[in-house]
Amino acid sequence: MKENIGVSKTCRYLCHLFMKLMNFVTMRGLLTRVIHRVLLSQTFTATMGVEAEIHTQGRRKMVVGLGNPGMDGTRHSVGMAVLGALATRVGVGERWRGDRHVSGDVIVWEAEHGQVVLLRPRLLMNVNGASVARAVSKYGVRPEDVLLVHDELDKPLGKVSLKHGGSARGHNGVRSCVDCLQTDVMPRVRVGIGRPSGSTSVDRHVLGRFSSEEQKVLASVLVQSVDLILSQICPQDSQFPSSAPGGRRPPQKKTQQTQEDASAAAQS
């Protein structure tokens, strides 16, 4: 009898704990949605009419580095690090400018095939979808042309993959973008950061900085990530050749010398 009473009390306690947890998750989700609606209020929508003239013919693309502003060097902000490496690779790294209308830092890169908007949201990760939605509206970009770059717990550091839309898979920044854009068609570059070891919590892990050993791997990860992004946004652009593994550029072929040798051989 005493054992049954003990089991019953344990079950009640677990049910109560589960309900409290569900209420917390539900309230957090509702609060996030309220913040999204406030950030995407009618006041901002009216501003878009003023910015309409910046829309041009053609189809723009956008690359967004997800992260937390002011937390550079942390695992959760590795998407921003990748975006910075991309801007440097294509020669526009000094052209970041703040845009209060989109709550973020922006570069409009005139690529060979058309314009590419680079965006670093200034909002916290959980609500940075509002910044993305504002930029999509201002710059006339379709959601399917928005490439999200973010950290991925379920992949070890050193692994980078491409995901063609779908669910947020637990990533709050991606979930915010899906909620604000009201679609999940956005492709994503998922940069592995690995799961915490030992008793380290997930929050502490993702908000922590890369260790000195991880920094050695990170350099090649940034190169690999930029290569993948360029293959998606300008696949036929030979102006930015892929880098070899380890961050080294492939050796340049001596095309001019080869042509001269062939010409000399033909004359002889």
CATH of the domain at 160: 3.40.50.1470
Specify if 19 maps to a domain: no
Query: Which of 257, 191, 177 lies closest to 220, judged by CA?
Result: 191
- Catalytic residue selected from 16, 36, 76, 205: 76
76 carries an active-site annotation: yes
Specify if 264 maps to a domain: no
Specify if 25 maps to a domain: no
Specify if 252 maps to a domain: no
Q: Please list, in sequence order, all residues whose beta carbon lies within 8 angstroms of the beta carbon of residue 126, skipping any fewer than 6 positions away.
A: 32, 172, 173, 176
pTM above 0.75, yes or no: no
Tokens encoding 241: 């050749």
Tens of each residue's pLDDT in the chain, 268 residues: 545 555 455 655 555 554 555 455 454 555 555 555 556 664 444 344 434 444 444 689 999 999 999 999 999 999 999 999 999 999 999 999 999 999 999 999 999 889 999 999 999 999 999 999 999 999 999 999 999 999 999 999 999 999 999 988 889 999 999 999 999 999 999 999 999 988 889 999 999 999 999 999 999 999 999 999 999 998 766 555 555 444 444 444 444 444 445 455 445 4
The domain tally of the chain equals 1
Specify if 131 maps to a domain: yes
DSSP labels, 162-225: EEES---TT-HHHHHHHHHHT----EEEEEE-----TT--HHHHHHSBPPHHHHHHHHHHHHHH
Specify if 200 maps to a domain: yes
Specify if 214 maps to a domain: yes
| Full domain range(s) for residue 104 | 40-247
Specify if 22 maps to a domain: no
